[in-house]
Structure 1
Amino acid sequence: MDWLGLHFITELPDSGQVILHCTHDPILVLVAYLVACAAGFAMLDMAERVGHVEKSAARRLWCWTGAACLAGGIWAMHFIGMLAFEAPIQIHYQLPVTLLSLLFALLASYLAMHTLSHPQLSLRQYLQAATCIGLGIATMHYVGMVSMQSDAVAYYHPALFIASIVIAIGAALAALLLSSHLRDGSGIFHQLLKYAASLVLGAGIVSMHFTGMAALNLILPADVPLTLPADNNHLQLGLMVAMIVLLIIGSSISAALADKKLQNKERDLRRVNALLSQLDQARMSLQQVAHYDALTNLINRRGFNQIFAEKLIEKTNEGGKLAVMFLDIDHFKRINDSLGHDAGDELLKVLASHIKSSVRSHDDVVARFGGDEFCLLISLDNHDEARHMAQRIMHKLKEPIELAGRRMVMTTSIGISVFPEDGSTCEELLKNADLALYQSKGSGRNGLHFFSSNLKTRATLEFQLEEELRHALREDAGLMLYYQPIYDLKRGQVTKVEALVRWEHPVHGLLAPERFIAIAEANGLIAELDLWVLRKACEDLGTLTTAGYDELHIAVNCSPLNLARPELADEIELALRKSGVAAHRLELEVTENALMGNIANTLVLLRQIRALGVSLSIDDFGTGYSSLAYLKRLPLNTLKIDRSFIQDIPKATQDMEIVQAIIVMAHTLHLQVVTEGVETREQFEFLERFSCDYVQGYLLSRPLPLTELTPALEEINQRKQPHTVNPLSLARGTGSPGSPDPFPGSPDSHAGASIVRPIR
């Protein structure tokens, strides 16, 4: 039976002679197996290389390289195996047909490498590829057998022939699966697996070849004489072919290994570059965070100081002026308190945009220092440029803004300092601009001020006074209390005195409260100062009690800031207990605005104080914004009318009507009325006529130290009418109608332990 040019037999023919004794050179068989193993290892290594290479051109290159190594190895194994075949007959090979078999091996090997270049394949696809590859290898083998020429005729046993093809397909399938499995991995264990897989693949390839050789039977026809084989050098030729193929395979594997290392280095280099890029981005991000405000994207204080220092060096060397402008949004805290911090942040973004759009160019620097404080740095030729820019910013910020469903208008206060007139360093110019801003806010806000030397002098003085006030409180030195009598119109005598703090300064002499109360409030000293006044007043009241004035009451002013402290009631109780004074003899005076500032918390504290037995008085009534609805809820005893309603009586008819209405209202609320600032007999008679309860002022006496208070009280109580001038009183300077204020510009009735001051 013939098929595809091959002769198949199931039984040997009767005629002819059968070549029975065909053998194989064991050395060449071993060499063939080693070549097959090397080809298998090359395929595994090239498959791994193809799977890891990134560029498509390089993938095609290594695919062809792997195909060439595998094809060369299989073909060389087949060729060496044929050289190992020993038959008792002369045999030679046709070179063209032998080379044609190499082409089939190359096609099958390329199909194998192309299949392995796909990362994921199904089992069916692997079977299809293995079948094609196995058939290609089998074709290579039997085409190579066809090239074998001799006097004998080659017959093949069909079962072994089919078995060889099946073995070829199985070896191909094993090669594909092993290569796919071993394509990813690293380490010594992975390398050992590749070696083991190479031995298995080599065995499969050799098994296919020698199964095919086992299927071969050479039959010499009867009429053909037997020609013995001549001497040959098959061993040397086989070893030479093996060496050449192994060198090619080894070179290819070495090249693959070198390329792998190079690719790893390139990958590491890219990773390093990526890390450097990330570090550069991180550095830029850190620089952004370090020098820019996250909310408004404006430069922050650190970035501003850096640019400021550079600009100063430039202007110092080249000449020119710089203006530093401090901006503070007026009453911004109200936005956060009423609408929340999110709305406040949105408003800051809008305001920052308005400020940025108001500057002239990129040379002008706009920064946010935090909260609602902004700072500008501009180059200029004269002061008017800074003034015009500040006015432009103020005008821009007044544009209505829609926020949280509301339409609002914001204003700003601005302070300006100019280089080189107002300073030569960043710190000095910023400090001076801040002083100018403080002046703007103190002047009613929504304005601008340039720095002047007077501001610096005043700031220096205030700083010095702050330190000296701390020392005075700490050492209990220099502070003293003056007392102004409060006359009871119904009883015709002094029943109360108001404690007024003074400071005997070692350099500036006797200072009125308005010189240091605001400093105490701004620097956290007011609670300590109020407590000192409270203790000293209770102590002096004890002294007056010993002197026989056991019915005398004392009024002490309380700061609005101190009224917010929940421990105030405990401090009052402790001061009364230490001095041994009855609580009903102490009266605490609080201003109208302080009571209304936080009505809920204030009401709780006032009730605690009233529970001690201490009286409560609302001071400076009529100058604040109290509501009758709240006023009737407060546990008050006394209402004190501000002197501003008295000073023009009897000339001001409207003031007379207002005072009369306040007295009627207070009595309706069951409150006693004290009128302060009484200086003339007409004022006294008017108040007496309209049932005022108490009067206080220079008509009776100016504030006096404790040592002078007792004689003054005796003198006042001895008068039949307080407007009767006593010569002794004039001689002592304790008061007279229209007597001048010893502290000009501020009535002593306001000069208590605390004065309401706007605090920046």
Structure 2
Amino acid sequence: MEWLGLQFVAELPQSGQVILNCTYDALLVLVAYLVACAASFATLDMAERVGHAEDPASQRFWRWIGALCLAGGIWAMHFIGMLAFQAPIDIQYDLPVTLFSLLIALFASWLAMHTLSEAQPSLLQYLKTAVVIGLGIAGMHYVGMAAMRSAATAWYDPTLFTVSILIAVGASFAALWVAGRLRDGAGLYLQLLKYAAALILGAGILSMHFTGMAALRLVLPENSLPALPPESGHMQLGLTVALITLLILGSAISAALADKKLQHKENDLRRVNTLLTQLDQARMSLQQVANYDALTNLINRRGFNQIFAEKLSQKTKEGGMLAVMFLDIDHFKRINDSLGHDAGDELLKVIARHIKGSVRSHEDVVARFGGDEFCILIGLRDREEARNLAQRIMHKMKEPIELAGRRMVMTTSIGISLFPEDGTTCEELLKHADLALYQSKGAGRNGLHFFNANLKNRATLELQLEEELRLALREENGLTLHYQPIFELRSGRVTKLEALVRWQHPVHGLLTPDRFIAIAETNGLIAELDNWVLRKACEDLGELSRHGCDELKIAWNCSPLNLAREELADEIETALRTAGVSPERLELEVTENALMGNIANTLVLLRQIRALGVSLSIDDFGTGYSSLAYLKRLPLNTLKVDRSFILDIPKATADMEIVQAIIVMAHTLHLQVVTEGVESLEQYEFLERSGCDFIQGYLLSRPVPLSELRPVLEEIDQRKHAHAVNPLSRARGTSAPVSLDPAAKSPGSHAGASVVRPIR
């Protein structure tokens, strides 16, 4: 029977001569076994390197090295085994067929290493791969046998042939299974186990070869004489092939060992780097503990003093100003006493975020000194920057805070000292800021004070102003209203006026609200001041009607404190009825934070006022906190965009986009939009293009008394007729003012008696 070119026979033919005296050279058999063991050990070592390699390129490299070692070792063992075969006839070998058997061995070896590269091969996967590899090794063997060229005919015993294939499959499975178990191990025990496994696998590979050789029967044709084999150099050739193979395998094993040591060094270096990183993190953690407050994550007193000394040294050398601010939360002890220290800690976290959110994130330093005391260090160009920052913080602090199921508003007292005018050392500036803080507390809290050598004199002056303001309200003497035109873009005329309160002091001259509003609020005069502004604005509306301006409306600012008074709606109704003015000509302006302070009560009060026919406007929109969910429920007519969004237009693209978004949102809610602070033609043209309804600012006019209002309105009307394309365009040389004026409305001015708002 012939199958795949091989002739199988159960019994040899009766005719012919069987060569029975074939022998093997024992030394070459031993050499072949050593080569098989070396190839097995190299394969196990390469499999271990594949398992430990971290990058795919290294895995591919060691996989190919392992495949070459296994293929070369098995093929060399087979070649040496064939050289050890001694027959009494001349046997030659076909070189191309022999080399083809090497390719088969290489394919089987590559498949074995590919399987070993898998992370967790299953037992079934091992078995499938072992079958393919075993067939490949058997194929290599029998292709090598087919390379024999002699006068005899090769017959194979089918039983031994089958057994040899099963041995090849079994040896392959054993090699795969052992290599998969040993590649992730380490230590002397596993190394000895690897040596033992190599000896056993080498014996398996050799057994397959000689079982296949045992299946061979050489039969000479009948009546033919065997050609005697020539003097052979099989021993020398076999030893040479074995030496070369062992050198190659040894080089591969040495390279694997060197790579293993190098990887261990890299792992050691990586562990050292990890340890150094952990040490750096521990050092940073210690520094965090030493220099930062654990509760608020702000810098503590120690960290602040270090930064303060550095900045003070820098400013001393380079020149410039610094401001030190001490902040103390008003009546904080009541929180701890009533709600507990846990609630107090949560409140301190919220307050710390408020303060941090009010400063310039990268330039200013915020620290917590302990308890409810905070300190801020800022670089500045003039003292007004420090005032503006303090006012921003005070404004931010008035946002309601939900704590322990309660809604509360906290205030802060602030003391400020300046470098170099108030001191040149850290200790001196901190002490002076602390003195200014105590002055703020003594003045009724919820205020700010700069250090001054004449602090007592200033306190006396504040007391005097309080008495004089009380007298001015009682006698209605000295207080006056100024009006700033509000221009309607659609009609091209002034349709509104904003009423702005001023105090003509007999000694200090014309005072703006930032000089007396805080006094009025602190001493319970704010309701009386607001009511005076309301009554005066209604009287002036009647006066305007008698002079033919019966379509003008007046916008009146209401203090946030007054929104908590239920009698406000009755006071408005009384003022309108007394002056004989239609409610539709009065507009009440309130800030968005005032609206959000107590939304439930505010909503009821605003609906009462709106039911009178009075228009409602939200002032300084964008500077505080507004919930759109509440905004759409409020009975508003107008939304006034804060001037801080207009200042940098047209240079600031972000501000332009914000203003456009506010206009679109307001129109969606069916609200008209007034933009204040308009000072240039570029701003006017931008707002006109964006669909704004009204503008207000120095481009039209500064606030003026009622007696000077008619000429201002006439001048604006003349500009409209003189410049049909742009009714507000004018030359710089005209009399209409452009420069800022301390008596004009600014973000710190007040029409009725609102809180002084910060200049941004």
Shorter-chain TM-score range? 0.5 to 0.7
| 3-state DSSP of counterpart to 1:378 | strand
Tell me the equivalent position of 2:57.
57
Tell me the equivalent position of 2:255.
255
Q: Deviations over 1:206-241 (max 9, x none)?
A: 111111111112122222112111101000000111
The answer to whether structure 1 residue 99 and structure 2 residue 99 are counterparts is yes
Tell me the equivalent position of 1:31.
31
Distance 1:212 1:372 in 2: 93
Tell me the equivalent position of 1:304.
304
Shifted more, 50-59 versus 348-357: the winner is 348-357
User: Is the Cα contact below 8 Å between 1:435 and 1:455 reproduced in 2?
Assistant: no
Equivalences for residues 313-328 of structure 1 within 5 A = 313-328=313-328
Deviation of 1:122 after TM superposition, in Å, equals 2.7
Q: Deviations over 1:32-67 (max 9, x none)?
A: 000000111111111111122122222222222111
Distance 1:420 1:360 in 2: 21
Deviation of 1:125 after TM superposition, in Å, equals 2.2
- Structure 2 CA distance for partners of 1:444 and 1:110, relative to 1, 3 Å: same
Letter in 1 for 2:36: A
Distance 1:361 1:175 in 2: 65
Shifted more, 121-130 versus 442-451: the winner is 442-451
Tell me the equivalent position of 2:475.
none
Tell me the equivalent position of 1:120.
120
User: Is the Cα contact below 8 Å between 1:101 and 1:141 reproduced in 2?
Assistant: yes
Tell me the equivalent position of 1:16.
16
- Structure 2 CA distance for partners of 1:200 and 1:389, relative to 1, 3 Å: closer
Equivalences for residues 547-696 of structure 1 within 5 A = none
- Structure 2 CA distance for partners of 1:391 and 1:185, relative to 1, 3 Å: closer
Letter in 1 for 2:57: A
Q: TM-score, normalised by structure 1?
A: 0.56
Count of residue pairs the alignment pairs up = 456
Distance 1:361 1:55 in 2: 43
Letter in 2 for 1:71: A
Tell me the equivalent position of 2:203.
203
Q: CA RMSD in A?
A: 2.5
Gaps of 5+ in 1: 457-760
Tell me the equivalent position of 1:151.
151
Q: Deviations over 1:519-561 (max 9, x none)?
A: xxxxxxxxxxxxxxxxxxxxxxxxxxxxxxxxxxxxxxxxxxx
- Structure 2 CA distance for partners of 1:374 and 1:235, relative to 1, 3 Å: same
Deviation of 1:382 after TM superposition, in Å, equals 5.8
Deviation of 1:164 after TM superposition, in Å, equals 1.2
The answer to whether structure 1 residue 219 and structure 2 residue 219 are counterparts is yes
Q: Deviations over 1:490-525 (max 9, x none)?
A: xxxxxxxxxxxxxxxxxxxxxxxxxxxxxxxxxxxx
Q: Deviations over 1:374-418 (max 9, x none)?
A: 112234566565455445544543444443443333232333333
User: Is the Cα contact below 8 Å between 1:47 and 1:117 reproduced in 2?
Assistant: yes
- Structure 2 CA distance for partners of 1:27 and 1:420, relative to 1, 3 Å: same
Letter in 1 for 2:101: S
Distance 1:182 1:347 in 2: 61
Tell me the equivalent position of 1:612.
none
Deviation of 1:81 after TM superposition, in Å, equals 0.5
User: Is the Cα contact below 8 Å between 1:358 and 1:393 reproduced in 2?
Assistant: yes
Letter in 2 for 1:347: L
Tell me the equivalent position of 2:615.
none
Shifted more, 291-300 versus 326-335: the winner is 291-300
Distance 1:14 1:388 in 2: 121
Equivalences for residues 279-290 of structure 1 within 5 A = 279-290=279-290
Gaps of 5+ in 2: 457-760
Distance 2:298 2:78 in 1: 79
Tell me the equivalent position of 1:730.
none
Letter in 2 for 1:98: T
- Structure 2 CA distance for partners of 1:356 and 1:218, relative to 1, 3 Å: closer
- Structure 2 CA distance for partners of 1:384 and 1:137, relative to 1, 3 Å: closer
- Structure 2 CA distance for partners of 1:402 and 1:137, relative to 1, 3 Å: closer
Letter in 2 for 1:194: K
Distance 2:395 2:2 in 1: 109
The answer to whether structure 1 residue 428 and structure 2 residue 413 are counterparts is no
Shifted more, 324-333 versus 431-440: the winner is 431-440
Tell me the equivalent position of 2:178.
178
Shifted more, 1-10 versus 108-117: the winner is 1-10
Letter in 1 for 2:215: A
Q: Deviations over 1:712-760 (max 9, x none)?
A: xxxxxxxxxxxxxxxxxxxxxxxxxxxxxxxxxxxxxxxxxxxxxxxxx
| 3-state DSSP of counterpart to 1:416 | strand
Letter in 2 for 1:221: P
- Structure 2 CA distance for partners of 1:306 and 1:197, relative to 1, 3 Å: same
Letter in 1 for 2:304: F
- Structure 2 CA distance for partners of 1:86 and 1:331, relative to 1, 3 Å: same
Letter in 2 for 1:180: G
Equivalences for residues 312-391 of structure 1 within 5 A = 312-359=312-359, 362-380=362-380, 386-387=386-387, 389-391=389-391
Letter in 2 for 1:397: M
Shifted more, 388-397 versus 299-308: the winner is 388-397
| 3-state DSSP of counterpart to 1:374 | strand
Greater Rg over alpha carbons, structure: 1
Distance 2:418 2:395 in 1: 22
Distance 2:249 2:329 in 1: 81
- Structure 2 CA distance for partners of 1:319 and 1:106, relative to 1, 3 Å: closer
Deviation of 1:95 after TM superposition, in Å, equals 0.7
- Structure 2 CA distance for partners of 1:436 and 1:176, relative to 1, 3 Å: same
Deviation of 1:75 after TM superposition, in Å, equals 0.7
Percent identity between the aligned chains? 76
Tell me the equivalent position of 2:414.
414
- Structure 2 CA distance for partners of 1:358 and 1:8, relative to 1, 3 Å: closer
Deviation of 1:361 after TM superposition, in Å, equals 7.0
Distance 2:213 2:389 in 1: 103
Letter in 1 for 2:243: M
Letter in 1 for 2:245: V
- Structure 2 CA distance for partners of 1:330 and 1:256, relative to 1, 3 Å: same
| 3-state DSSP of counterpart to 2:228 | coil
Distance 1:391 1:152 in 2: 113
Letter in 2 for 1:266: E
Letter in 1 for 2:136: G
- Structure 2 CA distance for partners of 1:407 and 1:13, relative to 1, 3 Å: closer
- Structure 2 CA distance for partners of 1:115 and 1:393, relative to 1, 3 Å: closer
Tell me the equivalent position of 2:522.
none
Letter in 1 for 2:174: A
| 3-state DSSP of counterpart to 2:327 | strand
Distance 2:46 2:385 in 1: 77
Distance 1:149 1:455 in 2: 121
Distance 1:333 1:193 in 2: 75
The answer to whether structure 1 residue 75 and structure 2 residue 75 are counterparts is yes
Deviation of 1:178 after TM superposition, in Å, equals 1.1
| 3-state DSSP of counterpart to 1:249 | helix
- Structure 2 CA distance for partners of 1:283 and 1:14, relative to 1, 3 Å: same
Deviation of 1:136 after TM superposition, in Å, equals 1.2
Distance 2:391 2:176 in 1: 83
Distance 1:395 1:59 in 2: 64
Deviation of 1:445 after TM superposition, in Å, equals 3.5
- Structure 2 CA distance for partners of 1:398 and 1:64, relative to 1, 3 Å: closer
- Structure 2 CA distance for partners of 1:419 and 1:78, relative to 1, 3 Å: same
Tell me the equivalent position of 2:672.
none
Equivalences for residues 397-412 of structure 1 within 5 A = 397-412=397-412
- Structure 2 CA distance for partners of 1:443 and 1:94, relative to 1, 3 Å: same
Distance 2:363 2:424 in 1: 20
| 3-state DSSP of counterpart to 1:35 | helix
Tell me the equivalent position of 2:138.
138
| 3-state DSSP of counterpart to 1:222 | coil
Distance 2:379 2:235 in 1: 96
Tell me the equivalent position of 1:238.
238
